[in-house]
Structure 1
């Protein structure tokens, strides 16, 4: 398959996007027919049934435990102090493997009232599980171990560090991250497939960014939703994501808000550091005693917790996971929550500004009009054209980053997540990043009469 790319840009403007149209296929005589998967020889019966509409027809979640298929990740690791029989792999914040929101933010599920009808969906999804960001703390930890190898003698639970090496990649999706988005696409097809009407031959426009993990996340989702021939049903619009801020992009709004990357918006990072000094004090003392010559610090403890999350999704298992007690894992989750609250959400002075562009786009879709003037992070070149910013789709699929999604939720004004989170103690709270970062947001309904 050969992809044809189009660069859409305005002369003398700093906005742009790549629209990927995968309809163009080429074949070569060098590939025998029996190796060419594009050819439709002897496909057998291909009749397709009606599209499902589980969001409309499901009466409500039933009590009890659902069947969970085998997972490629090894998570049955004994954790000290786990009297709650909890799952530490759901305490990894934005690094958690996809799992269903366990509390629904306090909103109970009910069947639709008689006469009500779901007429549209606007979905905003995070990318899948990935390797760490370049220059992250886990990489620094790996370099520290490498540079000090032979100068320390780790014992007990840390004896593996004598031979351990950092082997993670950077930025792109890990294998299970691809599966997460494919499964999400399949789930959304079951829930909302009925909304897609391509009988007129028009394809829906889905949007993502040019970052590798963002593009692949969208492609895997669309493959799960439509199948491997998703390009017959959807065109993927890739909006340029550049760190220079030269291109407006509501799916990466922080690039267009300089203050979001300066000290004024680092309150979350500062809070995380302060909280780590408290909840990891015992762990740091415990681990420091096992590795003389290394000078094990609180930062090392925190990076070791992050390595548990990253190595689990990358390799299926991490020896770092059982270094910490269940209470320390609860502390890690809270460290992520207060970090997002201060850097990207209601406790950040720039949180709303980063997310406001996407809110404007959702409002424009609901009112069925394009956007012809600069506002927020709006890419006017794209949003002023119904080819790249359709206003009559019944289903909109967008893909963004976890921090950007948090700012979008803030800009929408969901004040249930606005509670102040102190950096010196854990409190019960609604802003739980692992429950929010891949939340589809929002769907809109139409009721055919006034019954509520």
Structure 2
């Protein structure tokens, strides 16, 4: 029997036609029945029940943790200076394992009676992975001739670097599988299993992105997810239009014009790592610890934990040093992909344009940024009447999309020199591994009171609202756009939201931001995610 092993159409630059198709077949004999999985035999009764719809039915307020599933990771190491029962694994910025956000300053509310979630769009980050390139500390320690370590570093005499590159860890696969399970519980009834047309969910060609989408789909549908969904793989390389990696076609996002955040971060790292370097140098012979190696050691804490389950690197640093580690990442992100970057809106605006097009049920036939109109201009690859829209991307692209949506509550600069507790951006709460950003459309039979204790207004007709949820907590849209109102639930009426977003492309100033010849701004010179006009 001939089995189709692999079929993939890779679609390239905007306005381009498909550029490559690979089809491979293998021939094998029929497996015996005890190895046969398709078609199923002797499977017994299999009637299914009603799909869950937790976002529709959950009347419980978010008030605390009632159940914590077992975690494969050891994240409870004692850390010097941790007097408030904090956990350093919520202080690891973009390399933190997934955890729900602590919130964005607003309480969660169930849907009012008669209201319905009718549409959802999710963009999720890939799960925990190996580092994108080897951590150089491993090679530095291996090459250090005669290096010896004592005391709290004695274990380092036998330590060897053992991490791979880029691919998902086992924990990363679980994070995306669990995310799929979460979303079927929240939105399962938005899918009709008897519909003849498959859903289209989008990801990119990078291995960790493909595997993230596949594990999510398995969590949502089960291992037979291919019966219900087609995964669309979009080329993730420089020069190819892809809204899920918009930085690949924005030249200025990778040059000196967007180094303000990285520079501020590097200066902060050089300062806060001095005590740790002195501490470790006192335990080391023939190896000199500097700010680069201290920072790399802190990265190894995360990468070894999410890939190997445990890391001795974590306990070498104080709780304050872990807070500073996170702070350095926040400085980098707000200056490179946030409101202090001249290219942030441009990098994220292609995805914003796609979300708005799906909300309005129309295709995109003219490139406005990183949109791939070869795909976005076809209903087959960019379905416009699909209630469940799930995409898989990178943390920096999600961060840039939050900027391009104009969420100015994340725009306030914070000191590049001194740790600031109360700040606008905390990356570990926004784009940890397996982050998920959900946008809901909610229909109510009448307008919903901004004061949610009052229910619905007595007068008025059907009203649709937009609800932003980042890592399971509401982003209050009124904090960024006053016309949305000071609502208890953080929602924004649909037409108000669409008028707000109508200027997203103009705000991004895409061509000048990505290709213009302007002076590299210093940290804090840019406040709107776009270059000064």
Q: Which TM bucket (shorter chain)?
A: over 0.9
In structure 2, the CA distance between the partners of 1:81 and 1:101, relative to structure 1 (3 Å rule), is: same
1:128 aligns with 2:157: no
Task: Return the offset for 1:20.
Answer: 11
Please point out which of 181, 184, 187 is paired with 1:186: 181
Q: Does 153-162 or 229-238 show the bigger shift?
A: 153-162
1:6-85 pair list within 5 angstroms: 6-7=8-9, 9=11, 28-29=28-29, 31-85=31-85
Tell me the distance in 1 between the aligned counterparts of 2:276 and 2:330: 20
1:170 aligns with 2:165: yes
1:346 aligns with 2:339: yes
CA contact (8 A) 1:18 1:238 kept: no
Task: Return the offset for 1:63.
Answer: 2.9
SS at match of 2:41: coil
Tell me the distance in 2 between the aligned counterparts of 1:259 and 1:310: 30
SS at match of 2:163: coil
In structure 2, the CA distance between the partners of 1:18 and 1:313, relative to structure 1 (3 Å rule), is: farther
Q: Does 73-82 or 221-230 show the bigger shift?
A: 73-82
Tell me the distance in 1 between the aligned counterparts of 2:5 and 2:227: 13
CA contact (8 A) 1:251 1:401 kept: yes
Task: Return the offset for 1:339.
Answer: 1.1
CA contact (8 A) 1:129 1:173 kept: yes
Tell me the distance in 1 between the aligned counterparts of 2:18 and 2:354: 16
Match of 2:288 in 1: 295
In structure 2, the CA distance between the partners of 1:344 and 1:12, relative to structure 1 (3 Å rule), is: closer
Superposition RMSD in Å: 2.1
Match of 1:270 in 2: 263
Tell me the distance in 1 between the aligned counterparts of 2:60 and 2:256: 46
Task: Return the offset for 1:124.
Answer: 0.5
Please point out which of 377, 393, 405 is paired with 1:400: 393
Q: Does 442-451 or 328-337 show the bigger shift?
A: 442-451
Tell me the distance in 1 between the aligned counterparts of 2:21 and 2:56: 32
Task: Return the offset for 1:32.
Answer: 2.0
Please point out which of 142, 152, 157 is paired with 1:157: 152
Tell me the distance in 2 between the aligned counterparts of 1:378 and 1:19: 21
User: Which ranges of structure 2 fall in alignment gaps of 5 or more residues?
Assistant: 450-533
Tell me the distance in 1 between the aligned counterparts of 2:22 and 2:423: 41
1:387 aligns with 2:389: no
Q: Does 260-269 or 301-310 show the bigger shift?
A: 260-269
Match of 1:229 in 2: 224
- Cα deviation per residue 1:120-179 (whole Å; 9 max; x = unaligned)? 000010000000012x5x2x111101111x421111111222111110000000110000
CA contact (8 A) 2:74 2:310 kept: yes
Match of 2:430 in 1: 436
Please point out which of 185, 195, 202 is paired with 1:207: 202
Tell me the distance in 1 between the aligned counterparts of 2:8 and 2:70: 41
Tell me the distance in 1 between the aligned counterparts of 2:327 and 2:201: 34
SS at match of 2:110: coil
Tell me the distance in 2 between the aligned counterparts of 1:348 and 1:35: 55
TM-score under structure 1 normalisation?
0.94
Tell me the distance in 1 between the aligned counterparts of 2:13 and 2:277: 56
1:5 aligns with 2:2: no
Task: Return the offset for 1:435.
Answer: 1.2
Q: Does 77-86 or 28-37 show the bigger shift?
A: 28-37
- Cα deviation per residue 1:58-92 (whole Å; 9 max; x = unaligned)? 11334343211221111121100110110101111
Greater relative contact order (Cα < 8 A, sep 6+): 1
Task: Return the offset for 1:9.
Answer: 4.3
1:146 aligns with 2:142: yes
User: Which ranges of structure 1 fall in alignment gaps of 5 or more residues?
Assistant: none
Tell me the distance in 1 between the aligned counterparts of 2:361 and 2:40: 39
- Cα deviation per residue 1:90-113 (whole Å; 9 max; x = unaligned)? 11111111111122x112101112
Task: Return the offset for 1:232.
Answer: 0.7
CA contact (8 A) 2:56 2:111 kept: yes
Tell me the distance in 2 between the aligned counterparts of 1:223 and 1:214: 14
SS at match of 1:442: strand
Task: Return the offset for 1:447.
Answer: 1.8
Aligned length: 443
Tell me the distance in 2 between the aligned counterparts of 1:350 and 1:2: 43
